[in-house]
Amino acid sequence: MRSMNRTMTAAGGVLLAAMLGTTSTMTATAAPAAPAAPHRTAAADCRPLAEASTQARAVVDAACSQLGVPYSWGGGSIHGPTYGKDYPGGGPGSHDSQVKGFDCSHLVQYAAWQGAGILLPEGSWNQAQWQGATARFGRGQGTAPLQPGDLVFWAKNPGNLGTVHHIAVYLGGGKMVEARESGTRVMVSTVRLNAEYAGAIRITGGGGQPAPGTKRYVTWGTGVNLRAQPSTRAEVKARLNGPTPVDVQCQKHAEPVEAEGHRNDAWSYLPAYGAWISNIFIDDPKAWLDVPTCDF
C-alpha cells in the first residue's frame, strides 16, 4: 500500500490523474492506536547460515531486520510494517487491523525490495509463480540445493502453485525467517518439510541491479506518463502501465503540480527512459527523494 507524506483525498487523486494523464485509485484510512513495542530477538539468531552472494545476503539481512515485528494479516509494504486487516476467519487475527506488522508475503516483498531492489508481486501464490525467478526447486529436493535468500513456500496442493498460502526467506542450514501467523512475531524457524511443502525459488542472481549513480524506487498508479521535460505539457516519452521499478539519477524543482490543496514541484530524471517523472508518482514516504539535485 502506498505510504507518502503527501497523502491526498480520492478527489484529489482524480484531479491529479487528469492533470498528468494518468488513472489511479487511492484510499485513505485512519490508523488505529499503535500496539506495544515488539520484543526484539537477538540479531545473531537471524543471518545467512551458508555462503551467499552479496545480493542474497542483502535480502536475508533486510528480512532479519524485522525480527520481532508482529504478524498482521494483510500488513506490511516495501517500506515496512503497516496495519493489517481483521482476519475474516476470526481467532487471533480478528483484530489485526489494530496490529502494525507484516504478513508472510509482505515480509518477503519488503526483503526483496529493500535488500536487492527486486519488486515482487502481491500474494504468496503470485510470488511462488514469479516469472523473474532465476531457479526453481521442487518439493522432492528438500533444502539440499537451497541458498540463503531463496524463497520457500507451502500450498494446500503442492502440485498447484496457485494454492500457495505461505512463503518465507531461507537462511541456510534448514532454517528460515518468516511472518508465520497472527499472534506471533517475525521469527527464525526450521523449514517445515511437511505434506504442504511445495518447493522454493531463487530470486537473486539475475542482474537488474540499479545502474551506477542511481537509486531504485518504485512507481504507483497506472498509465503514468514519463515526460521529455519536467512539465505536464512536455512530450510523453513512455507510459508505465502499473507499479514499476525505476532508477532515479537526480531530481529538480520544476513545474508545480497541484491538487486539492497539495503542491509538489519535484521531478525525477530516469536515465533508462531519458525522461522525467513527477515525484508524486514515486512510491516513497518522502516527497523530495534521497538523490542529488540535477544540474541540467
Are 40 and 159 in contact, with CB atoms under 8 Å apart? Answer: no
Q: Pick the catalytic residue from 46, 106, 166, 250.
A: 166
Are 67 and 41 in contact, with CB atoms under 8 Å apart? Answer: yes
Report how far residue 14's alpha carbon sits from residue 256's, in angstroms, rounded to the nearest whole number: 17
Torsions phi, psi for 225 (to 5 deg)? -85, 135
Q: Pick the catalytic residue from 46, 64, 104, 250.
A: 104
Q: Pick the catalytic residue from 64, 106, 178, 250.
A: 178
Cα 227 → chain centroid: 26
Report how far residue 122's alpha carbon sits from residue 75's, in angstroms, rounded to the nearest whole number: 12
Grid cell, residue 55, equals 545480493
104 in active site = yes
* 190 φψ region: left (φ > 0), alpha (ψ -120 to 50), beta (else): beta
The residues assigned a catalytic role are: 104, 166, 178
